Structure 1
Amino acid sequence: MPDIIQLLPDHIANQIAAGEVIQRPASAVKELLENAVDAGATEIQLIINDAGKQLLQVIDNGGGMSETDARMAFERHATSKIKEIDDLFRIKTMGFRGEALASIAAVAQVEVKTKRAEDSTGTYIEIENSVVKRQEPVAAANGTSIAMKNLFFNVPARRNFLKSNAAEMRHIVDEFIRVSMAYPDIFFSLTANGQQMFHLDRGTLKQRIVQLLGNQYNAKLVSVEEQTDYMNIYGFIGKPETAKKTRGDQYFFVNHRFIKSAYLNHAVAGAFQEMIATDSFPTYVLFIDLDPAQVDINVHPTKQEIKFEDEKIVYAFVQSAVKHALAQFSITPTLDFDLDPTIQQLDAVSKPFTSEQKSQASSSSLYNTFTQKHAAHKIDPQQKSELKHWREFYEPANKSSVDSPQTTVGSADFSLLGSAPKLVLADQDFTQLHQTYIVAATAKGMMIIHQQNAHERVLYERYLAAADGKPIATQSSLFPSTLHLSTADAVLLSDLSDELKQLGYLIEPFGKDTFVIQGTPADFEQGNEVTAIELLLEQFKHYTSDLKFSKREKLIRSLAKQHSIKAGRTLTQKEMKQLVEDLFNCAQPNATSNGFPVYMEIKKDELEKMFGR
C-alpha cells in the first residue's frame, strides 16, 4: 500500500486558514483596521464597493513597511509582534497572529502600496491566490494602502454563502463602529459606493460615542472611572431612561479590544437592578485596562471572546464601578438620614422598655410562634383571640352576603361563565383581569388567556402567511412620517425593506440615514409609526444573536412582539372576543413563537378542591 498522508500545498493551507479568519467582508475590515491602528496611524479611511465583495480598501498614514516587510507580511505566521512564546501573554496590540494578510491574499486579489517616512519611494505589490504577481517601487504617501478585490473569486462556494449586500454592509458597519469606538483619538471615515457614511473627527470618547450612536445620548451619559493596582475601568453608561427592551448599544473593551462577554453584561445589569425594568438592557461603553498576562485572548479565532485569570475580581470591580458612578451622579435613590424630630417624642423611643413589658411580650403565643424553630408558619387555633382583629379585617361585615352570589364581586360574570356548557368561543361575556388576562369558561372549567401572548401568536401566524406569499395590505399614510436613524440602524433598515414591504410597510429612503414611512399594515394603529419601526429594529438586533433563526424568522418574530397588544391595555368585550376567536383559529394556539404559554386551563374539579369541595 502506498503512503497516503501528504502535506497540503501552501495556497490550499492558506485557504483553509482563511476560513477561520476571513468568514465574510466584515472579517477583513476588522483585521485591516486593527493593523492600521497598530501601525500608529492617526487617520484611517475605509472604502467599500458592493458591500466589500468587489472592493474593500483601508488607507492609513501609519508607519508603513519596507520592501522586505511588505513582501513578508503575506507569509503565513509572519508577524512583527511575537518573537518568543512568552510574548503571547504580553500582547498589547490588536493583530498579532500573522494570519490575516495571508488569509486575505488566499481568497482575494490584493494590492498593497506602502511607504515609510524615511524611504524616498514606496513599494507596490500585487498578490492573487497567495502568489505574488507583481512587485515594484512606486511613488506613495507615507503609510499603507491595502485593497482587497473580488473576495472569494477563487472559492465560488464560499462566495455563494455571502448574504445580500445590505446584510453584509451591516456587518461591516458593526466592525467599523467597534474599532473606531475604541480609538477616539484617531480620525476614521467610511465610504460605501462613493457615499460617505461616517466622518469621525478626532475628539473625546464621549464625542465619539455620540457620533456613532446618535445625538440622543448627548445629555444622557454618565462617566465611569475607577482605578486600582489590579485594573482600571473607564467609559460611559447611559442613564436609566436610555435602557432598551432589547440588547442594543452595549460595548465592552479589554485593553482596547472589543469583546463579547455575557458574564460582564450581567455585572453591569446587576448594578442597574431596580432602576430599570427587569426585561430592559442598559446602555454602556466601558473600557477595562489590565495586565495582558491576566487575560487570555487566544480562546477564539476572532479574538472577540477572552478569558480572565480571575473572573470574579473583574466582575465585582465592574459592578462596583458602575454602581459608584450611578450613585455619584445622584441617579440611584438616596436615603435621608435627617431624623424627624417628632420621632424622638414617641414612647417607643423616649421611654425605657421595662422588664415587665419585656416579660409580657415574650410570653405571648405570637412571640413564641415566631421564635421557635420551624414554627413560623403555625398559628395556634386556641389562641386566635390575639389575631381576631386581623381575621375581622378579611371577614365581611354581613355574613349572609357571602352566601349571596349576586352581591359578591364578579360573581355575576363567573356564574354566567360557569353555566355555559360550550367552549370558550361560545357567545358569552369575558372578564379582563389586571388589564393583562382574559378569563373565560370552558365546558369543564375555566381558561385564563394572556392577552399579549395570545396576540403575539395571532400576529406571528399572520405575518408568516404574508411572508409565504400572501402579502398584507398597505394603507397609505395621510401624513407620511420622517424617520431619522443612526447610520448602523439605517443600514439595517435598508436590509429589511423588501421583507417589510411584504408585511405591509412602505418605507422609502430620503437622504443620508433618513427614511419616509409612506404606508403601514392595514390593521396598524396610525400615529405611532416612527416608534414602532425603532422598536422593531431593536427587537431584530436582539434576535440577531441567535444564529438558528433566518432573517425572515427574526423579522416576523420582532414584528409580532412589537405590534402585539401589551399588558396594561383595557380591552372591550368586542376586542376580547375577536382576539380569542383569532387565537383558536391559529394552527398552534397554545404557545408563542418563543415557547411561552398563551393560556392555562383550570378544570372544574381542581377549582372545587381549592375550596374544599
Structure 2
Amino acid sequence: MGKINVLEKQVAELIAAGEVVERPASIVKELVENSIDAGAKNITVEIKGGGVQYIRVTDNGSGIEREDVANAFLRHATSKVRVEEDLGNIRTMGFRGEALASIAAMCRVDLLTRTQADVTGTLYRIDGEETYLDDAGCPVGTTITVRDVFYNTPARMKFLKKDVSEGNSVAAAIEKAALAYPQVAFKFLRDGMVKLQTPGDGKLLSAVRCVLGKEFADNAIHVSYMEGINRVDGLICKPSIARSSRSMQNFFINCRYVRSKTCMAALEESYRNSIMVGRFPSCVLNVTIPPYAVDVNVHPAKIEVRFADERSIFNLIYYGCKTALGTQDIQPQIKADELKYNPFVAEQGKTAPEQQRLSAVEYRRAVSQLAAPTGKTSSPPLKAREGISTPSEEVAVQVKSPGISGGYADIPVYRPMMPVLEREIEKEAVTSPIELRCQREDIPPQKAYAQNMYENARLVGELFGTYIVLEHEDEMILVDKHAAHERILFNQLKKSGIEGDRQLLITPISVQLSAQEHAAVLSNDKLLHEAGLTVEDFGGNTVVVREVAPVLIGTDIKDIVVEFAGKLAGGNTQLFSKELEEMYHTIACRAAVKAHDKTPAPHLEELIRLLEEGEDLKHCPHGRPISIRMSRHEIEKKFGRLG
C-alpha cells in the first residue's frame, strides 16, 4: 500500500467541485437557485457556446454585503444553515455552501453585487488563487459571470457534449425553475437570442404556456388536493393529449425539481383505464410537505430525494390527480374537419368511385383478360358454384381499386362483393393463378405457393372491428388487419426506405418538445428525413414539419415526431440501422389501419390482395401473428357434428 498523503487544498477543492459542477447546466442551476433564495423577482440567464465559454446570471434580489463577498466563495460558507437542527428544516433551494466555491474552483468568475443599503456596488473577481475586489456601479441585486468552464481541468472537458447539447441542458434547467416559480420572471438568452421569457405573474398556467407550449396549456386540468398536512397543486393534461414519452412529467417537492419513481407511479396509476397503453400523461405538480418529512441531501445535485413516508406521497398524488380527472370532461372533442383516415386512399372524394355496368359475358371477358395480360386467354368461363344462383344480366364492377400508397391503383377490374364463382375445371386448358404469377413475375413456384394462403379466399366479414374473417377451402382464417397492414408497410420501408418525393403540407405542423428532445431532433434531421419527415427548427423548443412522405399522409404526424424525439433523446444519437428500423416500426404502426375502426369491405379486400402479393407476412414487426387458421374439422368438432 502506498504512502497516505493529505491532499493540498486546491486538489481537494477540484475533487469536491466535481460533485456539484458536472456541466454548464449544473452551474446555471446553482446560480439560479441562489437568486431565488435572494428573493429575486427577475432573473436573466445568458450563455454562449453552450455555456462552456460564457454564463451570466443577473437578478434583482437582495444582493451580498461587501464584507460577505469573499466568504461566499469559501467551502461550506452559507447564510442558510447555522446549527445541526437547521438541516431538518431546510426551506431554501441551496444550503450546503458549496456552489460558489465549486464553480470558482473550475472557472473564472466575476461577481457584481449591491444591497439596498449600499450606495456603491462591489466587484469581486476570482481566477484560481488570484482574487480582486473593488468598487463598482450597479443596480440592486447580483450578477455573476462565469467564463471558461473546466479551464484548469482539461480531463473533464472531454466528457462535455457538443455546444448544442450543453445549451439544451441549460435550457432544461431554466425551464424547471420557471415552472417551479411562476412568480419569478425568467429570461433566457442563448448566443444573443431570446429563447425563453416568462411573465412572472404568479400564474402557473402562464409559465406552462411559455415552457411546455400551447397544447398542454389549452388542455390542462387544475389539481389542488390536501391530505392531512400534505398538499399537491399544479396542472395535469387531458388523456387525449398524452405523449409517447415521460419527457413532460415535472415533479417538485417544496418547489424543488426532483426525479421520483413514487410520484411518477402515482400519476400514471391515476390515469389507468383513461389512457392508452404506452402513452404517458404530462404534468407540473408541486408537493408541499414539512421539510422534516423529506431528505433532500441524498444527492449532490439535490435531484433525488427520500421521503419519510412513501405511501402517503403516493396516495396524495394519486387521489389528487384522480379527483381532478373525475371532475373534468376528458372526452376528446371530434372537430368537423377531422376526417376519418382511409389508409388505402390518400385522397377521397365525396362520391363513390367510378362504376361501369357490364353484362355477365363482358365481366367474364374482363376477368380473363386480366389473368392473361399478353392477350392469351388462360381462364375458362366462370360457372356458378353448385347451389348458388348465377349473377343477373348486369353486374356492377368497380373499375379502379384504392392503392396502398395513395390515389387509385391501375387495376382494370376490382373483385366484386358477390357470391364466389369458381372456374370450370378443364385439366388441359387451365393455368392456375399461382402458375400465372410465376410466369408473369418470374418467381419460383414454391415461393408463390408459400405466399398463396390468402388467394381465392372469400371475405366473410369483419369481427370486432379488428379481425378479417376469411373462408379458404376447408379453413377459416382470422387476419389481424392492423398487424397485417403494419407488416406490409414495414416491409416496404425496409426495402426502399422513404426516399423520393415529399408532399408539402398545406398547413405545417408545429411540435412542442422538451429541450433534450429538441436537440436530439435537430441533430438527427437527416435520419428523420430518411424516415419520411422534413423537420425544421421553429424557435424555442418547437420544431415544424413542412413535408412528409406520401405514406404518412393522414397519420398523426405530431405523435410520430414526439415518439421519435423521445427515442433519440434517450439513447445514442448516431445513425444506426437499428434506430432507423425502430423508426420504421413506428411509422408502420402509426400509418396502418387501426383496430376497432370499421373498415369498408372493398378496403379489406384490398388488404388481402396485398397480403397475397407480399413476402414474409407471418408476423407484425412487434412479433404478433398476422393471422390464425382453424380447420373445418376443428370447428365441427366443437359443435359435435362429427359424432
* TM-score, scaled relative to structure 2: 0.68
Partner AA of 2:51 in structure 1? G
> Which position in structure 2 is the counterpart of 1:394?
none
Q: Per-residue CA shift, 1:473-500, capped at 9, x if unaligned?
A: 2424345542334474694443433432
Distance 1:267 1:140, change over 3 A: same
1:396 maps to what in 2?
none
| Residues 190 and 199, structure 1, Cα contact 8 Å, conserved in 2 | yes
Partner of 1:483: 509
Partner amino acid, structure 2, of 1:557: E
Q: Which residue of 551, 556, 568 corresponds with 1:524?
A: 551
Q: Could you tell me how far apart the structure 2 residues matched to 1:11 and 1:57 are? A: 25
Within a 5 Å distance, the mapping from 1:249-260 to structure 2 comes to 249-260=248-259
Which residue, 499, 512, 537 being the options, matches 1:473?
A: 499
The alpha-carbon deviation at position 181 of structure 1 amounts to 0.7
Residue in 2 that maps onto 1:190: 188
1:34 is displaced (CA, Å) by 1.0
Residue 609 (structure 1) shift: 12
Does residue 561 of the first structure (1) align with residue 560 of the second (2)?
Answer: no
The letter for the 2-side match of 1:538 is V
- Match of residue 559 from structure 2: 535
Preserved contact between residue 55 and residue 150 of structure 1 (Cα < 8 Å): yes
- Whether 2:177 is the aligned partner of 1:152: answer no
- Superposed CA deviations along residues 294-334 of structure 1, whole A, max 9, x for unmatched, are 001122222222111111112112222222223344659xx
Letter in 1 for 2:134: E
Q: Pick the aligned partner of 1:496 from 508, 519, 524.
A: 524
Contact 1:111 1:126 in 2 (8 A): yes
Alpha-carbon deviation of 1:123?
2.4
- Counterparts of 1:329 and 1:518 in 2: how far apart (Å)? 35
Q: In structure 2, what is the Cα distance between the partners aligned to 1:525 and 1:239?
A: 26
Tell whether the 8 Å contact from 1:425 to 1:581 is kept in structure 2 after alignment: yes
Indicate yes or no: 2:129 matched with 1:131: yes
Alignment-derived partner of residue 401 in structure 2: none
Query: How many residues in Structure 1 have an aligned counterpart in Structure 2?
Result: 518
Partner residue in 2 for 1:220: 219
* Cα distance in 2, alignment partners of residues 505 and 330 from structure 1: 34
Whole-angstrom distance in 2 between the partners of 1:454 and 1:473: 23
Q: For 1:168-191, what per-residue CA distance to the aligned partner results, in whole angstroms no more than 9, with x for missing partners? A: 232222211111111111111111
* Change in 2 beyond 3 A, CA 1:597/1:40: same
Bigger Cα displacement from structure 2, 307-316 vs 135-144: 135-144
Partner Cα distance (2:570, 2:513) in 1: 23
1:545 positional shift: 7.5
Q: Deviations over 1:52-98 (max 9, x none)?
A: 12212111111111234322222233322222333222111112222
Corresponding residue for residue 200 of structure 1: 198
For 1:84, the equivalent position in structure 2 comes to 83
Which amino acid in 1 is paired with 2:528? Answer: L
Question: What is the match of residue 62 of structure 1?
Answer: 61
Residue identity in the other structure for 1:584: D
Mapped contact 1:173–1:488 kept (Cα < 8 A): no
Contact residue 540 and residue 555 of structure 1 kept, 8 A: no
**2-structure distance, mates of 1:449, 1:127:** 72
Could you say what secondary structure the match of 1:599 adopts? coil
Moved more, 551-560 or 22-31: 551-560
Partner in structure 2 of residue 304 of structure 1 = 303
Deviation at 1:472, TM superposition (A): 4.9
Structure 1 residue aligned with 2:334 = none
- The structure whose residues are more often helix, as a share, is 1
- Contact kept? 2:477, 2:630, Cα under 8 Å: no
- Alignment match, 2:169: 171
Task: Return closer, same or farther for 1:262/1:591 CA change in 2, 3 Å cut-off.
Answer: farther
Answer yes or no: is the 8 Å Cα contact 2:518–2:543 preserved in 1: no
Question: What pairs with 1:357-506 in structure 2 (closer than 5 Å)?
Answer: 424-426=450-452, 428-429=454-455, 472-479=498-505, 481-486=507-512, 488=514, 491-492=518-519, 493-506=521-534
Which AA in structure 2 matches 1:71? A
Q: Hey, what's the Cα distance between the residues in 1 that align with 2:155 and 2:615?
A: 43
Structure 1 partner of 2:232: 233
User: More displaced, 471-480 or 225-234?
Assistant: 471-480
**Rounded Cα–Cα distance in structure 2 between residues aligned with 1:274 and 1:304:** 31
Partner of 2:616: 584
The TM-score with structure 1 as length reference comes to 0.71
- Which residue in the other structure is 1:117 paired with? 116
What residue in structure 2 maps to residue 143 of structure 1?
Answer: 141
State the Cα deviation string for residues 151-184 of structure 1 (Å, max 9, x = none): 2333334323333333323222221111111111
Matched, 1:210 2:209: yes
| Closer, same or farther: CA 88–559 of 1 in aligned 2, 3 Å | farther
Specify the SS of the correspondent of 2:34: helix
Q: CA deviation at 1:117?
A: 1.8
**What is the SS of the residue equivalent to 1:524?**
helix
**What code does the residue aligned with 1:17 have?**
A
- The one-letter amino acid of 1:526's match is I
CA distance in 1, matches of 2:581, 2:165: 17
1:203-237 deviation digits (Å, cap 9, x = unpaired): 11222222222223444322222234421222222
Partner of 2:28: 29
